[in-house]
Structure 1
Amino acid sequence: MVGRRFKPGKADRLLDPKRREIISPEQVMSLLDLQATDHVADLGAGNGYLTLPFAGAVEKVYAVDIEKQMLDLLRKRALEQSGNNIDYVVSDLESINLPDQVADKAIAAFVLHEVPDLTKAFKEFKRILKPGQMFLSLEWEAIEMDMGPPLHERISSEEMMRIFEENGLKPEVHHFHEAVYGVLAKV
């Protein structure tokens, strides 16, 4: 089920205006109930589709990505938009280079289908989040469409709910679009 890693050379696709029709940063911020004092971990931040809007709304954003090139693109965009409250962290999600209980909220957007060991990743999500705080996973529903990964790499919302439960979380699913869902849980 592990999908191929997204190639930084295709980073412009992540900023395609069509994505806003499917899921907007504002919808995500509302679901996470972001507060001005929050510290948010954007896990798989890429070139900042969510990171930059978060940075405009919260005290601190930890932009975590396995690809340094993606974080370099994000840093360039942040400088153009005066985003100076972002920490850039090169890391995989199975051993996140952040301290314990550093974040009030965490999100992994369109990246969990690329993670080889989700059990390790979920332990890390719990470790970096403060107790009782929220973790949100956004993924592509397991249906055919032009955007997103191939169908065989997608994780259905039902399967993601099961993964959350297997990792000790009580999830709730939110459908933003027929092709995109979010699974949210307190840790």
Structure 2
Amino acid sequence: MTDKRFNPKNADKLVSQERKAQLQPEKIIDHLKVSNDDTVADLGAGPGLFSIPLARLTERDVYAVDIEPEMLERLQQNAEKEDIGNIQTVVSDLENVNLPDNSVTRVLNAFVIHEVGSIDRTINEMKRILKAGGYLLLMDWEAVESDSGPPLEIRIPSDKMESILQEHGFDTDVFHPDSEHYAIKAQKRIIG
């Protein structure tokens, strides 16, 4: 739904020094325990707030997935400035991610799940591209009033999001980096 989507004209706000100081992307991605051998998908990558620090942690590819080509162009420019060469941009919506099955060991989805048309389809796609035993880190705004972020009526409470992930075959751990945001570290269950 386009009315919920962040306007790419405001992309610079997403990588501003103020936002980096508030969110501390390096601390957030520490929860994914990315190693040199991990292949990562950053779903809803925007201009690279998380993709660039993720790319520094692995020698493998980081797939920066976003529906807006303009966001990915900014990400490429930002990566070039930082001399990062292992980010592959993928223009794709999150309900039909243009990556193969079981192609990544880590998935990051930060501050975009409230924008998708179908949460179930999006979670199924995360599960599809993630190898068994791989980790997902999903972050979003808690369903509380705040000065920043999306309108309260489109926010998904952390307890509801945790239940959805569990229903889709993930083991979950919820934490709150601050009063406005939540993060769920989820591991894709190994079946058999």
TM-score in same-fold range (> 0.5):
yes
Q: State, as a whole percentage, how many aligned pairs show the same letter.
A: 43
Q: Which shows bigger deviation, 28-37 or 15-24? A: 15-24
Q: CA deviation at 1:169?
A: 1.9
User: C-alpha deviations, 1:44-80, integer Å up to 9, x for none?
Assistant: 0000000011111112200000101100010111111
Given the alignment of the two structures, is residue 44 of structure 1 paired with residue 44 of structure 2, yes or no? yes
- In 2, the alpha carbon distance for the partners of 1:146 and 1:5 equals 18
Residue identity matched to 1:44: G
Number of matched pairs: 187
Higher relative contact order (CA 8 A, sep 6+): 1
- In 1, the alpha carbon distance for the partners of 2:78 and 2:150 equals 25
Name segments (4+ residues, structure 1) moved above 2 Å. Answer: 16-23
- In 1, the alpha carbon distance for the partners of 2:13 and 2:164 equals 28
- In 2, the alpha carbon distance for the partners of 1:3 and 1:108 equals 19
What's the secondary structure of 2:70's corresponding residue?
Answer: helix
* TM-score normalised by length of structure 1: 0.94
1:2–1:180 distance in 2 versus 1, CA, 3 Å: farther
Q: CA deviation at 1:96?
A: 0.4
Q: Aligned residue for 2:7?
A: 7
- In 1, the alpha carbon distance for the partners of 2:3 and 2:153 equals 8
- In 1, the alpha carbon distance for the partners of 2:17 and 2:153 equals 25
Residue identity matched to 2:183: G
- In 2, the alpha carbon distance for the partners of 1:34 and 1:171 equals 18
Residue identity matched to 2:79: A
Q: Aligned residue for 2:123?
A: 122
Q: CA deviation at 1:23?
A: 2.2
Given the alignment of the two structures, is residue 65 of structure 1 paired with residue 28 of structure 2, yes or no? no
Q: Aligned residue for 1:103?
A: 104
Q: Which shows bigger deviation, 20-29 or 65-74? A: 20-29
Q: CA deviation at 1:3?
A: 6.4
Q: Aligned residue for 2:53?
A: 53
Q: CA deviation at 1:17?
A: 2.5
Residue identity matched to 1:10: N
Q: CA deviation at 1:12?
A: 1.2
Q: Which shows bigger deviation, 72-81 or 13-22? A: 13-22
* TM-score normalised by length of structure 2: 0.92
Q: Which shows bigger deviation, 159-168 or 119-128? A: 159-168
5+ long unaligned stretches in structure 2 = none
5+ long unaligned stretches in structure 1 = none
Q: Aligned residue for 1:159?
A: 160
- Say what the alpha-carbon RMSD is for the aligned residues: 1.6
What's the secondary structure of 1:92's corresponding residue?
Answer: coil
The answer on whether the counterparts of 1:2 and 1:115 sit within 8 Å (CA) in structure 2 is: no
- In 1, the alpha carbon distance for the partners of 2:175 and 2:48 equals 22
- In 1, the alpha carbon distance for the partners of 2:65 and 2:75 equals 11
